[in-house]
Amino acid sequence: MSEGESIEIRELFKIFGRSSAKYIDAIKDGLSKPELQRLHGQVLALNNISISMPAGKIQVIMGLSGSGKSTLIRHINRLVEPTSGSIVIDGLDILRMREQELRQFRRNRTAMVFQKFALLPHRTVIENVTFGLELRGIKWAKAREIGMSWIERVGLHGFHARYPHELSGGMQQRVGLARALSNDASILLMDEAYSALDPLIRTDMQTMLLELQSELKKTIVFITHDLDEALRLGDRIVILRDGSIVQQGDSQDIVLRPADDYIARFVKDVNRGRVIKVDAVMQPAPQKPDGSLPRIQSGATLETAAKALTNSTFDRAIITDRGSRPIGAITLRLITASLSSNPEVPLEAAPASVGAGA
Amino acid sequence: MNIDEAPLIVMDWLWKFPQLSDETLLAFKKSVDGSFRAFIRAYGDGIEAFFTPLNKTLVFFEGLITGTPWPIIVLAIGAFAWFASRRWSVVAAAVGTLLAIGFIGLWTDAMKTVSLVFAATIFSVGIGIPIGILMSRFSRFSAVVQTTLDVAQTMPPFVYLIPVVMLLGIGRVPGFIAVVIYAVPPIIRLTDLGIRLVDREVLEAADAYGCSRWQKLWKVQLPLSLPTIMAGVNQTIMMALAMVVIAAMIGVQGLGLNVLQAIANQYFTLGIFNGFAIVGIAIIFDRISQAYGRRLQKHRGEAHV
């Protein structure tokens, strides 16, 4: 199994249009996107993007349509050429690659899952799943063995001889995922992979991806326009708007400290109980913790903590790390206050007031 | 100068198109015709020698088909219909039509026509598909070929037959060339179209998984455009059949020649018989190739997408 590799994107610009390179300096000097389009007929798709994606994590890139997220993900395997900037994968500058090298890179180190599945309609499920292996010149018997095991893993047992059109959307995307995983690439690029699926199936597929990832530890770049999906899957999240980065961070940063009104509007409707972790809102642990208090492990969500407290006779609990050492405390009042997204009640203030009463 | 004549002289160009003088035109036509004749005198033998292998192939092909006992031909076409369509109705229609053509005494002529059409179709597909592939890849080449095909499809066949007949005389080879020029445009156009219609996202997936150009062509573009290409093959066969009467004017034997004789001598029944024989052959090939095309489509479940 190839585990993930890190991806470093530095000062990436992409302008769509003829001889776009000469407008880079103007953009760097502050020419705006609408002006560029009006004066020169060029479209600024990505504006000064720098992201460092750690190895073996799920990096979510979120944005609405037209934000440049699909263009960005296509730079990682160079389906789109940047106008300027650098992309370094595990120390290797992929923009320097010649055609042949790039092909080998795509065959061996990246795999991609597409929004509309992009399966080959004239091939059966197993022939689709082994497509990448076939391009790498792996013998059919071996490829079939690998392909069948992944078909099994994504829950398509018994469907290997069917054609894509005989399957539902969710099943087709399982084929897409199996095709990507068969390649055993270290980087998995998922371009709105679940956006075309029904909500329930989408949740199933997210669960499956998280389960697989806990074992595979690939670097996954996941594009979505759905904030719930981003918060659920993303170890790290980048939010794009009009080709620029608005905010980067983990799910806690995005929900608790939205960078601007645009993100705050998104975050408003999020189920905070399922996203915010106790670590983000807990108070300092008391000097001599009461041994009878319930204990909640670090990393639990507020929802879990609230359930644990409601089922006990206490209104406060001790937060412990993995080694069961107390690292903080939480109360039901604190949880309730944190669930409110009202910006007038800053979360930093909440622990203090509750702490005084305790 | 007389005052009354002046306006007439002034307005002369308005009533008579300002064309080249008759002498100039005549000289021009003479010199082009003359140099073409000189070209034929100088290189005619060489060009004929160049086409000799083609002529031999056509003669061999015709000999093969007309020399085979009729039950074997009927069986072979029946089997071909079965493998292409997997439907007994198509097989029955094909065999029935062939037997009817034989029954009215046109077996040998029909086989001569079939052999020419078959050879022309194979040749057209053989050169048409590669040209179509190149067109889909290079847009400048595509523009040139499109224009050439427009000319080939609208130019009256007799016009391009003049130099061919001057070069090669009358017979099988000029007939074959005329049929190919007429029949090759659809297969070229539809191959080009089929490849261009392949889903963009599927092509992107092929790139993302590291396809080389050849792999993309063989594993993605051609299989996915096959139904459209088959429609092109079907059209090519139909065009080739439509040409057999005109080809008969330059010495191609078969059903077309009978039609020509029927026109010249006003033999109504002979014309009808031969006309229907051509239609019958056309229907056989059309149904077989269409059924094959549909079978390819069914594989892909086009209706769902």
- The per-residue pLDDT for range B26-53, each reduced to its tens digit, is 999 999 999 988 988 888 888 888 888 8
Beta strands (DSSP E) in A230-334 are: 236-241, 244-249, 295-297, 316-320, 326-331
Higher-confidence residue: A335 or B203?
B203
Smallest CA–CA distance, residue B210 to chain A, in Å, is: 5
Residues A127, A239, single domain; the answer is: yes
A182 found inside a domain: yes
Partner residue opposite A79 with nearest CB, options B207, B223, B226? B207
Cβ atoms of residues A248 and A236 within 8 Å? yes
Residues A14, A69, single domain; the answer is: yes
Residues A261, A281, single domain; the answer is: no
Q: pLDDT digits over B167-213, tens only?
A: 888 888 888 988 999 999 999 999 999 999 999 999 999 999 999 99
Residues A229, A209, single domain; the answer is: yes
Q: pLDDT digits over A124-157, tens only?
A: 999 999 999 999 999 999 999 999 999 999 999 9
B19 found inside a domain: no
Token pair 């309730």: residue = A336
Three-class SS of residue A8? strand
Residue of A nearest to B305 (CA): A165
CATH of residue A215's domain is 3.40.50.300
Smallest CA–CA distance, residue B100 to chain A, in Å, is: 39
- Strand partners for A238: A61, A248
Residues A68, A199, single domain; the answer is: yes
A1 found inside a domain: no
Q: Amino acid identity, residue A61? A: I
> Complex ipTM, two decimals?
0.83
Q: Which residues of A touch B208 (CB under 8 A)?
A: 77, 79, 106, 110-112, 189
B112 found inside a domain: yes
Higher-confidence residue: B131 or A321?
B131
B207/A106 Cβ within 8 A: yes
B17 found inside a domain: no
Q: pLDDT digits over A21-67, tens only?
A: 788 888 888 888 888 888 888 888 999 999 999 999 999 999 988 89
> CB pairs below 8 Å between A and B: how many?
71
Q: pLDDT digits over A167-220, tens only?
A: 999 999 999 999 999 989 999 999 999 998 999 999 999 999 999 999 999 999
Residue of B nearest to A163 (CA): B300
Identify the domain boundary among A270, A297, A330: A270
Residue B249 structural domain:
52-304
A15 found inside a domain: yes
Residue of A nearest to B213 (CA): A103
Is a pLDDT exceeding 90 seen at residue A19? no
Residues A257, A341, single domain; the answer is: no
Q: Which residues of B touch A116 (CB under 8 A)?
A: 201
B35 found inside a domain: no
pLDDT at site A356: 36
A202 found inside a domain: yes
B8 found inside a domain: no
A11 found inside a domain: yes
Smallest CA–CA distance, residue A158 to chain B, in Å, is: 19
Residue of B nearest to A181 (CA): B209
B26 found inside a domain: no
pLDDT at site A336: 86
Is a pLDDT exceeding 90 seen at residue B138? yes
A163/B301 Cβ within 8 A: yes
Is a pLDDT exceeding 50 seen at residue B117? yes
Q: Which residues of A touch B304 (CB under 8 A)?
A: 165
Q: Which residues of B touch A135 (CB under 8 A)?
A: 209-211, 215
How far apart are alpha carbons B132 and B176 in whole angstroms? 21
Residues A256, A307, single domain; the answer is: no
Q: Hey, is the C-beta of B297 within 8 angstroms of any chain A C-beta?
A: no
* Summary mean pLDDT of chain B: 88
Is a pLDDT exceeding 80 seen at residue A20? no
DSSP letters of B212-227?
-HHHHIIIIIHHHHHH
A105/B304 Cβ within 8 A: no
Q: Which residues of B touch A177 (CB under 8 A)?
A: none
Smallest CA–CA distance, residue B299 to chain A, in Å, is: 7
Identify the domain boundary among A216, A238, A270: A270
Three-class SS of residue A185? coil
A163/B300 Cβ within 8 A: yes
Cβ atoms of residues B246 and B178 within 8 Å? yes
Of B109, B287, B154, B305, nearest to B224 (Cα)?
A: B305
Residues A165, A235, single domain; the answer is: yes
Q: Hey, is the C-beta of B213 within 8 angstroms of any chain A C-beta?
A: no
Q: Hey, is the C-beta of B305 within 8 angstroms of any chain A C-beta?
A: yes
Three-class SS of residue A237? strand
Is a pLDDT exceeding 60 seen at residue B301? no
A92 found inside a domain: yes
**Joined tokens for residue B275:** 């006309």
Banded model confidence at residue A18, pLDDT cuts 50, 70, 90: confident
| Mean pLDDT, range B161-171, rounded to an integer | 83
B199/A132 Cβ within 8 A: no
Q: Are strands A244-249 and A236-241 parallel, antiparallel or unpaired?
A: antiparallel
Residues A197, A312, single domain; the answer is: no
How far apart are alpha carbons A7 and A89 in whole angstroms? 5
Q: Which residues of A touch B211 (CB under 8 A)?
A: 103, 135
A106/B304 Cβ within 8 A: no
B241 found inside a domain: yes
Residues A170, A119, single domain; the answer is: yes
Q: Which residues of B touch A189 (CB under 8 A)?
A: 208
Q: Hey, is the C-beta of B201 within 8 angstroms of any chain A C-beta?
A: yes
Smallest CA–CA distance, residue A19 to chain B, in Å, is: 20
Partner residue opposite B212 with nearest CB, options A103, A164, A183? A103
Smallest CA–CA distance, residue A322 to chain B, in Å, is: 41
A118/B199 Cβ within 8 A: yes
Residue A11 structural domain:
7-270
| Mean pLDDT, range B142-151, rounded to an integer | 94
Smallest CA–CA distance, residue B195 to chain A, in Å, is: 14
Is a pLDDT exceeding 90 seen at residue A110? yes
A87 found inside a domain: yes
| Mean pLDDT, range B264-277, rounded to an integer | 92
Residues A315, A247, single domain; the answer is: no
A234 found inside a domain: yes
- The count of structural domains within chain A is 2
B300/A122 Cβ within 8 A: yes
CATH of residue B120's domain is 1.10.3720.10
A135/B210 Cβ within 8 A: yes
| Mean pLDDT, range A318-346, rounded to an integer | 78
Identify the domain boundary among A270, A294, A312: A270
B87 found inside a domain: yes
**Joined tokens for residue A115:** 């929004």
Smallest CA–CA distance, residue B205 to chain A, in Å, is: 6
A122/B299 Cβ within 8 A: yes
Q: Which residues of A touch B224 (CB under 8 A)?
A: 120-122
Distant-in-sequence, close-in-space partners of B281: CB < 8 Å, separation ≥ 6: B97, B101, B110, B113, B114, B117, B241, B255
Query: Cα B157–B159–B162 angle (5° rounding)?
Result: 110
Best mutation target, B209, B213, B229, to test chain A (most A CBs within 10 A): B209
Q: pLDDT digits over A249-292, tens only?
A: 988 888 888 888 888 888 888 888 888 888 888 888 887 767 78
Residues A46, A88, single domain; the answer is: yes
- Strand partners for A58: A220
Give percent of chain A above pLDDT 90.
Answer: 55
Exposed/middle/buried for residue A294 (C-beta within 10 Å: 0-12, 13-18, 19+) = middle
Banded model confidence at residue A71, pLDDT cuts 50, 70, 90: very high
